[in-house]
Amino acid sequence: MYEEQIQQVVQDDDKALQDPIVRQMIIQLRAMDGYGTYDTWSDAKVLDPLVLTKERRRAIPVVGDPDETTLSRVKAFYNALAQLIERETGLMAVPVINIGHEGFGRALIVVGKLVALDKTLRDVHRFGFESLEAMSAEAQKLMGKATALVNEHRLVAEI
């Protein structure tokens, strides 16, 4: 796949690796690694495929079906968001992800009876971010909206 052909862009000393959202992504990705592939990998190497530089994005076809590795990265992202929303609100947050074989679908994060996050997914085979900072900014934005919604409708979220 394209990941093996292109040099690693996330370095071990990257300050973004200390961001709470990025740390949670590392936890989620390592938890999903049932075969122990990531056991000997640095955190930077585990997260590196999520960073899609212009060169990497060009290497991915415009139309394609997502592979299992890409789907696990999408799941890890929304699992990390759910975990951080849960930590912030004190209520259990559950991610629900439905992606068709063509890479279109939806990601929900449900807190109680409240849908705290509803994100339409397109072109999942091209899932990634320009940088770890961009991933963190997107996660902060989504988490902020979801947390505000939970706090605004706390009675529904507590059901």
The total number of structural domains in the chain stands at: 1
Mean pLDDT value of segment 92-111: 94
pTM surpassing 0.85? yes
Is the residue at 3 inside a domain? no
DSSP secondary structure of 3-16? HHHS---S-TT-GG
pLDDT exceeds 50 at position 108: yes
Mean pLDDT value of segment 97-112: 93
Q: What tens digit of pLDDT does each residue of 13-67 get?
A: 788 888 999 999 999 999 998 888 899 999 999 999 889 888 888 887 788 788 8
Is the residue at 27 inside a domain? yes
Domain carrying residue 147: 14-157
Is the residue at 8 inside a domain? no
Residue with tokens 């900014």: 137
pLDDT averaged over every residue in the chain: 89
Closest CA to 86 of 118, 108, 111: 111
Q: What tens digit of pLDDT does each residue of 146-157 get?
A: 999 999 999 999
Is the residue at 6 inside a domain? no
End-to-end CA distance of the chain: 45
Q: What tens digit of pLDDT does each residue of 16-28 get?
A: 888 999 999 999 9
- Gap between the Cα atoms of 52 and 142, Å rounded: 20
DSSP code at position 158: T
CATH of the domain at 99: 1.10.3100.20
- Gap between the Cα atoms of 143 and 65, Å rounded: 28
